[in-house]
Amino acid sequence: MDPWVKKLEEELKLKVTKIEVWHNENNAKRMQEIDQDRCGGVPYFYNKKTGKWLCGVVSYGKLKTWALGK
């Protein structure tokens, strides 16, 4: 997903914050609180502005739609 995230950041001039959850227990707990058993894994994308999330590997179009809040 990294190439799609980079393209998204460049195209839309926004920043996607990456949080490491495998080795960081606090980040893992934070993800679980946000996820609420919707996805249960990574990659996991959460849009703080819209409250929408994406689970797993998705197309660039779907990632962009999520980022735009549509």
Tokens of 18: 């990456």
Instruction: Let me know: does 24 contact 18? Beta carbons within 8 Å.
Output: no
Residue 17, classed as helix, strand or coil, is coil
Q: Which domain holds residue 59?
A: 2-67
Residues, the chain = 70
> Domains in the chain: how many in total?
1
Tokens of 40: 């249960």
Question: Which pLDDT belongs to residue 38?
Answer: 87
Q: What is the pLDDT of residues 14-64, one digit of tens each?
A: 999 999 999 999 999 999 988 988 898 899 999 989 999 999 999 999 999
